[in-house]
Each structure stands twice: as structure tokens, then as C-alpha cells.
Amino acid sequence: MMKVLFVATECTPFIKTGGLADVVGALPKELQKEGVDVRVVLPKYEKISQDFKNEMEHIYSGGAPVGWRNQFLGVEVLVKDDITYYFIDNEYYFKRVGLYGYYDDGERFAYFNRAVLEMLPQVDFQPDVIHCHDWQASLIPLFLKTHYRNNSFYQEIKTMFTVHNLKYQGIFPKEVLPELLGLGDEHMGGVEFDGCVNYLKGALFHADVLTTVSETYANEIQDPYYGEKLDGLLRDRSNDLCGIINGLDYTEYDPMKDENLSFPYRSSKVKKQKNKLQLQEQLGLPQSADTPMLAIVTRLVEQKGLDLVTSIFDDLMKNDVQFVILGTGDYEYEQFFRDAAYRYPEKVSTHITFNEGFARRIYAASDMFLMPSRFEPCGIGQLIALRYGSAPIVRETGGLVDTVTPFDEESLQGNGFSFSNYNAHDMLFTINRAISIYNDSSLWTALLKNMTKSDNSWNRSAKAYNQLYHNLIGVN
């Protein structure tokens, strides 16, 4: 049986700040269906629910090196939904309010990577592949080829590294090389970045196979515009780089069984409209089943294309449309949308917060979901929107290209709307076209039918990952 260890710093239902947690929470379950013995290792954060902590069993106490020091390593285990989860227990590094953003993140995650490798012989699990996710788990391929290369336990282990967002790389002063990583200058070439040490680059250089979260993003990051100064290395390793689109956990995101909804539905236009009318009443917007509702649920940051939205907002409001936005982020965007709700009280409802249940009700009530990202490795918003029957309006980048097919009035094919140039007026034209099609009942019904047929479950992606694992260790 293929044995795989996922190394990550987030995983639903234990701890989440973004889409990484959804991937690490859902993909192992699908891989298990493919016959893979997949286990997951995470830091034991303070923020993890006490209910989960009460279920954990302490199985090991020891140490893990950080440079010249030896830090405490505790390992706890919990089995949930037939998946084994290990938790690295060190209160000095992980008993904190948040997950990231501390002055010693370089040390915290250097420790985490060494702790994972030190843990393996102690828990009687020798994986065929260690699958590392994002920069916080990016040192394992480097450590395997340096500190552990002469240890027989580790010599047959292969590594896969998945880039979830190339923008976040883990860049620290070059002094971390000897002080935290315990390596000499001869290893600087694989991690050097503008005179600093780049943790993520270490994985891009040393991992046996590289993946990212959509085919289009795999191509984009080899271009200087998207490559975040690592495009040259990615081009050099293009034969080892594969894009596999993320899926959506269809059990977790199911409008038929979603307890957040007063009117569960699968493809019923009538019940979807009931959700809209209820949300309109809740938000103090005029109740109208026929008025198109446009939604944004996102982090309010430039990457998400919000500068396009703000620049044409007054023109957008000339339409008979309602606009609902949920999210937090940059102050300038928060203030803009607060002001928009003040200026257009009958059309705009702004919520500078995040609440998962409220987000689900917005997906269920809205007719269209706007996601005009500057770049988007995969994106989950458009996948949820498709699942809940809210037509995605996206810019053609990354995973948005791979999951949203523009609707064609002649062939009646396509599951959403898209525009290619990062241009506000191209976006406005596309929104206006979507509104026009919404006002044609027969066309909109055809589009809704196509959205219902969209298959963005993890099934195909899990098969692709499983094939990569087998290729990596030379087993058919």
C-alpha cells in the first residue's frame, strides 16, 4: 500500500486561515478511497478546539534540533474519519494567539520541519512520499538531502512539494542558514534569494516533484509576471512541475444539506429565490426575487481585483442590481465599501467581518459571484459559487480559467462568465452581459443547468496525485 505523509500548517476541521486548510482537510479522504495510507502532521496550535485536544493521545516525548540547540518535541495523535493526524507539541513555538506573523517564524517552522522528520521513526510510520505544502513545510526536502542523507530510515523517502501561492515564500536573513538550519555556506545556492534565505526556494530546488493547484497557474508561474522572481528556477524544473486543480469537498459544501440555509436546495430555482428573499429581508434590502444579486466573499486585498471594482462601482450601480460584500482586509477597501453602502442603501450591503455561515447564505442567495482576481492559483470561491448556483464572473487567470467556462448564448454551453484583460471596463462589460442573460429566463435556466452539472469534486484530482506518487517511487 502506498504510504504518504502530508505536512502542512493548516487543516480543516482543526485549524484554518485560508484555502490550504480545505485542501489538506479534503484531499487525504479522497486519496484514502484510492487505497493510499495517507496521514497528516500539523503543529499543535493553541487555537485548536479543546474538544479536539481532549481526543488527542500523547505518544512520544523527545527532542528536535534547531541549529545547535535541542528543543522539546512532543507528538500527539488523533484518528478522525479513519485518517491519522499527528500534532507536533511544543508550547514555546505554538502556544500563541495566531498561526503566523511572529518575529521568529523562521525558527518556528525550521523547528517544525525537523520535528516532523525526527518524529517518523518514533511513530512507526515510514512514508514512501512526504507531501509538503507551502513554505512552512518547505525545508523537509532540503533536510532529507543534508542532515538525513546517511540515515537508512530516510534514504528511500521521496518528496513532493505543492505551491499553493507563490507570493508567500518565507524569506529570512542569511544567518538562519547556520543558526536555525544547521547548514554551511555550501548549501546557500539552493536557498539564496537577494542575499537572504528563501525557504520556499529550498523546496523548489530540492523536492523530487513539484506541483501547484491548477494547470494554468503551473504555466503562469514560469513567466516573470507571475513568477515572483522564481520563474527561472521553475522553468529549469518545468519537467518536474505539474498543475493539478484543487477540488471542493462536496460533503462539506452541499446546499441540499447545509444547515446554514433555511431553504436547502439542489437545483431548484424557486428555493434559491427563497434564500435570496430571506437574505434581502435580513440585510434590509428591498425584497425582490427578480433583482439580480451580485456577491463578493473574499479577502479585501489588491490580489483579488478590488481596484477594478472600485473604479467602475458607480457605473455598476446604474444597473438594477443588488451588491453584497463580505470580508476583511486593507483599510482602503474596507472604507470604500462601507461608504458604498452609505451612498447606495437600497442596493449595497457591506459586512467587514467573516462568518462562515453567513458566507454560505450569501452563496445560496446570490445570482452572480464576482471574482476578478489579478492572479488566483486555484481559488475556492468560484467552486463554492458553482456548487450553490451563483454564476461566477471571473478574470481568466490561474484556476479560474480551469474551472469557469464562458457561457455561450448560441450553443448554451458554459458555466459562468469571464474576461481576459486586467481592465475595469472589460469587467463591467462582462457583468452587464451577465445581467442581460439573467433577464432572459430561458438562457439563465440553461446556465443554471450547466452549473449544476459542473464536477469540481476531489475525485479526479486525487487520482492524479495518486498517479504522481506511483510514478515518483517507480510503481505502476
Q: What is the pLDDT along the chain (476 residues), one digit of tens a residue?
A: 999 999 999 999 999 988 899 999 999 999 999 999 999 999 999 999 999 999 999 999 999 999 889 999 999 999 999 999 999 999 999 999 999 999 999 999 999 999 999 999 999 999 999 999 999 999 999 999 999 999 999 999 999 999 999 999 999 999 999 999 999 999 998 999 999 999 999 999 999 999 999 999 999 999 999 999 999 999 999 999 999 999 999 999 999 999 999 999 988 889 999 999 999 999 999 999 999 999 999 999 999 999 999 999 999 999 999 999 999 999 999 999 999 999 999 999 999 998 999 999 999 999 999 999 999 999 999 999 999 999 999 999 999 999 999 999 999 999 999 999 999 999 999 999 999 999 999 999 999 999 999 999 999 999 999 999 999 998 76
Residue 16, annotated as binding a ligand: yes
Sequence-distant (≥ 6) Cβ neighbours of residue 156 within 8 angstroms: 128, 473
Query: What would the grid cell of residue 287 be?
Result: 425584497
pTM over 0.85? The answer is: yes
Listed in order, the ranges of the chain carrying CATH 3.40.50.2000 are: 3-247+459-473, 269-453
Dist. CA 293–CA 133, nearest whole Å: 36
Question: What strands, in cross-sheet order, belong to the sheet with 368-371?
Answer: 348-351, 322-326, 293-297, 368-371, 391-395, 417-419
Paired residues of 330 in beta bridges: none
Superfamily (CATH H level) for 3-247+459-473: Glycogen Phosphorylase B; (3.40.50.2000)
Q: Which CATH number is correct for 269-453, 1.10.3720.10, 3.40.190.10, 3.40.50.2000, 3.10.20.310?
A: 3.40.50.2000
Report the relative pairing of strands 69-80 and 57-66 from DSSP bridges. antiparallel
Full DSSP string of 415-439: SBEEE-SS-HHHHHHHHHHHHHHHT
